[in-house]
């Protein structure tokens, strides 16, 4: 199964806040080819989550076109080809871990591929023993791991992840980075990862896109030259650090401007 392409062409989106228009995207063009891995960095509040919600058809653009696998995003989402992990885990509080991961199958009226499929996902994110726990009984990082497992449940061809590792400690974050690289390399879903971690972006992606302050435009589009598979030792490589520094240099003036 091949990844699905995702494209934004001339996309505009503004929110109305107290009668005032707040432009968030003002003519954004972004093309994610089938099977590519794009990491998206940008200052807080610039419009990254909005872009992801548009790609899911949860928000509608005011102008421009968004295509997921050459289809309307909402229609594509309903086929089960799209996996999503939101910034805030978004688990159903009354359901246990297993049942939260099963949710996409229920929505689609489908069964998991194998009797142990949910068990495999739970092991993948290191939550064995917590199958029957409710979200309130988990830590923030554990909840995020449930959301990651759920995003992968239907073996998506388009994977949209909004800061999925934000609440994890460094060791766990690195482990999840390795797992995500493994899953992506095996199945090649087109992946869009929103993150505040420059090193994580460089480690995982084919290219890193830096967005400007709102309304978000593309400031930089940086191809990542490191060969795959990428070993954990890459995190200690001087070339890797050089590239991370270059990318951070694009972000810092934005962060200063947004805090003024």
Ligand X SMILES: Nc1ncnc2c1ncn2[C@@H]1O[C@H](COP(=O)(O)OP(=O)(O)OP(=O)(O)O)[C@@H](O)[C@H]1O
Q: Which does 46 bind (CB under 5 to 8 A by kind): ligand X, Mg ion, none?
A: ligand X
Span 190-229, contacts to Mg ion by CB under 5 A: none
188, 194, 200, 205: CA torsion to nearest 10: 40
Instruction: Closer to Mg ion by CB, 138 or 194: give it.
Output: 194
Which range of residues in 9-17, 42-50, 195-203, 228-236 is near Mg ion by CB under 5 A? Answer: 42-50
* Phi and psi at residue 95, to the nearest 5°: -105, 145
Query: Minimum distance from CB of 230 to Mg ion (Å)?
Result: 26
Q: Which does 44 bind (CB under 5 to 8 A by kind): Mg ion, ligand X, none?
A: ligand X
Binding Mg ion (rule: CB under 5 A), the pick from 7, 14, 34, 49 is 49
Query: Minimum distance from CB of 47 to ligand X (Å)?
Result: 4
Q: Which does 50 bind (CB under 5 to 8 A by kind): Mg ion, ligand X, none?
A: ligand X
Instruction: Closer to ligand X by CB, 20 or 114: give it.
Output: 20
Query: Minimum distance from CB of 30 to Mg ion (Å)?
Result: 16
Residue nearest Mg ion by beta-carbon distance? 49
23, 24, 27, 32: CA torsion to nearest 10: -170
Residues that bind ligand X (CB under 6 A): 15, 17, 22, 24, 42, 44-50, 87, 214
x/- mask, Mg ion, residues 61-90, rule CB under 5 A, reads: --------------------------x---
- The answer to whether 258 contacts Mg ion (rule: CB under 5 A) is no
Q: Which does 47 bind (CB under 5 to 8 A by kind): ligand X, Mg ion, none?
A: ligand X
Instruction: Closer to Mg ion by CB, 48 or 173: give it.
Output: 48
* Phi and psi at residue 43, to the nearest 5°: -65, 155
| DSSP per position, the chain | -PPPPEEEEEEEEEEEETTEEEEEEEEEEEEE-TT-EEEEE--TTSSHHHHHHHHTTSS--SEEEEEETTB-HHHHHTTT-EEEE-TT----TTS-HHHHHHHHHHHHT---SSTTHHHHHHHHTT-TT-TT--GGGS-HHHHHHHHHHHHHTT--SEEEEESTTTTS-HHHHHHHHHHHHHHHHHH--EEEEE-S-HHHHHHH-SEEEEE-SSSB-EEEEEE----SSPPGGGGG-HHHHHHHHHHHHHHHHHHHHHH-
Instruction: Closer to Mg ion by CB, 13 or 157: give it.
Output: 13
Instruction: Closer to ligand X by CB, 11 or 127: give it.
Output: 11
Instruction: Closer to Mg ion by CB, 87 or 175: give it.
Output: 87
């Amino acid at each position: 199964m091949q990844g699905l392409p995702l494209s934004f062409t001339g996309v505009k989106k503004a929110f109305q806040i107290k009668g005032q228009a707040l432009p968030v995207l003002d003519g954004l063009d972004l093309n994610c080819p089938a099977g590519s891995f794009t990491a998206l960095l940008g200052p807080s509040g610039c419009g990254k989550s909005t872009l992801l919600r548009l790609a899911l058809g949860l928000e509608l653009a005011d102008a421009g076109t968004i295509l997921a696998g050459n289809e309307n995003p909402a229609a594509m989402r309903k086929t089960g080809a799209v996996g999503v992990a939101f910034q805030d885990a978004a688990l159903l509080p009354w359901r246990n871990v297993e049942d939260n991961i099963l949710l996409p199958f229920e929505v689609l009226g489908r069964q998991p591929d194998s009797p142990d499929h949910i068990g495999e996902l739970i092991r993948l994110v290191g939550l064995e023993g917590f199958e029957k726990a409710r979200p309130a009984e988990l830590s923030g990082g554990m909840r995020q791991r449930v959301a990651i497992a759920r995003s992968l449940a239907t073996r998506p061809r388009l994977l949209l992840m909004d800061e999925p590792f934000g609440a994890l400690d460094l060791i766990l974050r690195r482990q999840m980075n390795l797992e995500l690289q493994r899953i992506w390399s095996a199945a090649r879903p087109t992946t869009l990862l929103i993150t505040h971690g420059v090193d994580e972006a460089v480690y995982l992606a084919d290219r890193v896109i830096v967005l400007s302050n709102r309304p978000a435009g593309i400031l930089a589009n940086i191809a990542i030259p490191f060969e795959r598979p990428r070993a954990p030792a890459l995190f200690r490589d001087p070339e890797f650090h050089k590239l991370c520094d270059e990318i951070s240099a694009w972000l810092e003036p934005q962060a200063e401007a947004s805090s003024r």
